[in-house]
Structure 1
Amino acid sequence: MTNSTSFNAEKINQHIVKWLLDYATNAKVQGFVVGISGGIDSALTSSLCAQTGLPTLCIEMPIHQAESHVSRANEHIDQLKQRFSNVSSERADLTPVFETFKNQVSTSTNEKALHLSLANTRARLRMATLYYFAGIHGLLVAGTGNKVEDFGVGFYTKYGDGGVDLSPIADLMKSEVRLLAKYVNVPESILQAKPTDGLFGDDRSDEDQLGANYDELEWAMKEDEKGKTAADFSGRKATVFSIYKRLNTINQHKMNPIPVCIIPETYK
């Protein structure tokens, strides 16, 4: 967990905003589109994009969404629009699209695999929606993944919330996301909310799915970078480290480039 006394929120805030502005200018695009979930990562990302002064389009995309997620998302969007004249919003209710998709594909007797596949389908429908709005408005899709999710445990959907044009907060640990979100005045309701991906239509949290909370996973990620193994720990620490290593291993396919079969030149 990051020490708040050594975390320079002002400098990091300025650095990310300049990076976003420079990237958009060099890419010759109008601004950014961000999917708003009611969670802290998307709230921080959209706040940073808004600070660039470039058009920032916030999209709410409910699919059988819990009311608490919807209310937090709307609270954040309303607050952001009041603070920044360059922020606008759209709402795309994807519930009917999701239901139509389910009715057009076969099901499975493997209930666990079915629910996970449908959860990932929700994320991929949202990705397609963000790119639709990006295309018609000349915007970049800003990713909302943090460092632990993107490079530690791979806790995102491949070609879903992992399908983005740029990732402004992917070098920040979750604890750092919290500190920076507080600095940029993300609503307290979001700061205090339990992290969840909201992909299953229930109240399960990220910790419920992962088996460890983000502070624990940050610790494990740092220990792994030092070359430690599960044998170096005992009790809860050994359990958390094993969870981290298992997820990091099975999700490498998300973090590494797509494998390409290289054909020998003599065959061509």
Structure 2
Amino acid sequence: MNTAKVADHIIQWLKSYAENAKVNGFVVGISGGIDSALTSTLCAETGLPTLCVELPIHQAESQVNRANEHIAQLRERYPNVSEAEVNLTSTFEDFKTVVPAVASSPKVDLALANTRARLRMTTLYYFAGLHGLLVAGTGNKVEDFGVGFFTKYGDGGVDLSPIADLVKSEVYELAAHLNVPQSIQEAQPTDGLFGDSRTDEDQIGASYDELEWAMDMQAQGKTADDFDGRKLEVFTIYTRLNRINQHKMVPIPVCEIPKELK
């Protein structure tokens, strides 16, 4: 990958899109992870107003520290960057008191994890509406179009996706080129939605390098019959997630009414 040219291409794409949409700039949710760090840096590079919003909900201290470090670094480098923090912990806890009480189970835990992401999306759109900004998505290609590792109408609810054609290894390459803090480059990827230390790899069962490989193998038309051992395990994980999460990746189905019925 020609890193410098790819970075410049995304920056110009962001700037042109915002200017054509006649908006002021961008708002990005900052998690302390590599994807949001890269996205916010690319937005800042446009020279347009870029609002970085930290949205903790029972967040691990390490994630908060990385997010703060990144935002502080951005503000030193770019005069067009501003910041806001909205602690949604009490909002999340209030939500849990007004929905029906259900005994703890994996389904409840997942539903609440997705609720966190949707509360954050709602908050980002509040700021977007307030300041005339676009919500910039932080999903990469493996998450958005490979395994569907995002929350529908949560972190998947965005106006534009600047890094969604980059696989994770390319995200790291671009982040290094744009001087994203080393602590973020070295941190284990995590969505931070469960309030514990589980990583993306813990949840998915495969690393991003492995998922990139499986994504490439599927694109080449390979099937499970072509692999054994760990490769078979990873390919099975990938293809299963790709299949069951198609509802996140394809347009919302519309029931079209035949003309003769209207």
TM-score range, shorter chain: over 0.9
Residues 33 and 57, structure 1, Cα contact 8 Å, conserved in 2: yes
The question of 1:160 aligning with 2:154 is answered yes
CA-CA distance at 1:110 after TM superposition: 5.7
The residue matched to 2:115 in structure 1 has which SS? Answer: helix
Question: For 1:54-203, what aligned pairs fall within 5 Å after superposition?
Answer: 54-109=48-103, 111-203=105-197
- SS state of the match for residue 231, structure 1? helix
Alpha-carbon distance between aligned partners in 1 of 2:224 and 2:70, rounded to the nearest angstrom = 40
Give the one of 1, 8, 17 matched to 2:11: 17
| Structure 2: gaps of 5 or more residues | none
CA deviations on 1:163-221 (whole Å, 9 max, x unpaired) are: 00000000000000000000000000000000000000000000000000000000000
Q: Is the 8 A contact 1:32 1:141 kept in 2?
A: yes
Answer yes or no: is the 8 Å Cα contact 1:9–1:183 preserved in 2: yes
State the SS of the aligned residue for 1:58.
Answer: strand
Distance between the aligned counterparts of 1:154 and 1:196, measured in 2? 15
| Cα distance in 1 for residues equivalent to 2:198 and 2:5 | 35
Identify the residue that residue 34 of structure 2 maps to in structure 1. Answer: 40
For residues 110 and 96 of structure 1, what CA distance do their matches in structure 2 show?
A: 20
- The 2-side partners of 1:135 and 1:165 are apart by 12
Rounded to whole Å, the distance in 2 between the matches of 1:78 and 1:103 is: 35
- What number of residue pairs does the alignment pair up? 262
Instruction: Report the equivalent of 1:264.
Output: 258
- Does the Cα contact within 8 Å between 1:33 and 1:133 map onto a contact in 2? yes
TM-score, with structure 1 as normaliser: 0.97
Q: Which runs of 4+ in 1 moved over 2 A?
A: 107-110
What letter corresponds to residue 41 of structure 1 in structure 2?
D
Give the C-alpha shift of residue 107 in structure 1: 2.7
2:145 maps to a residue whose letter is F
The residue identity in structure 2 corresponding to 1:47 is T
Tell me if 1:228 matches 2:197: no
Structure 2 distance, partners of 1:23, 1:122, is: 29
Give deviations 1:126-147, integer Å, cap 9, x for gaps. Answer: 0000000000000000000000
Q: What 5-or-longer segments of structure 1 have no aligned partner? A: 1-6
Distance in 2 separating the partners of 1:172 and 1:33: 20
Between the aligned residues of both structures, percent identity stands at 70
The alignment yields a C-alpha RMSD, in angstroms, of 0.6
Partner Cα distance (1:174, 1:119) in 2: 23
- State the 1:109 CA deviation: 3.2
* SS of equivalent residue, structure 2 residue 109: helix
SS state at 1:236 partner = helix
Residue in 2 that maps onto 1:8: 2
Structure 1 residue matching 2:153: 3-state secondary structure? coil
- The C-alpha deviation readout for 1:85-106, integer Å capped at 9, x for no partner, is 0000000000000000000001
Per-residue deviation, 1:231 = 0.9
The alignment status of 1:253 with 2:252, answered yes or no, reads no
Structure 1, residues 203-248: CA drift from partner, whole Å, max 9, x if none? 0000000000000000000000011011100100000000000000
Task: Tell me how far 1:8 sits from its aligned partner.
Answer: 1.0
Pairing 1:232-247 to 2, within 5 Å after superposition: 232-247=226-241
Q: Write the distance in 2 (CA, Å) between the matches of 1:237 and 1:107.
A: 42
Partner of 2:24: 30
Checking the alignment, whether the CA contact within 8 Å between 1:107 and 1:114 is kept in structure 2 is: no
Contact 1:76 1:187 in 2 (8 A): yes
- Structure 1 distance, partners of 2:102, 2:246, is 26
Instruction: Give SS of 2:101's match.
Output: coil
Whole-Å separation in 1 of the counterparts to 2:245 and 2:23? 32
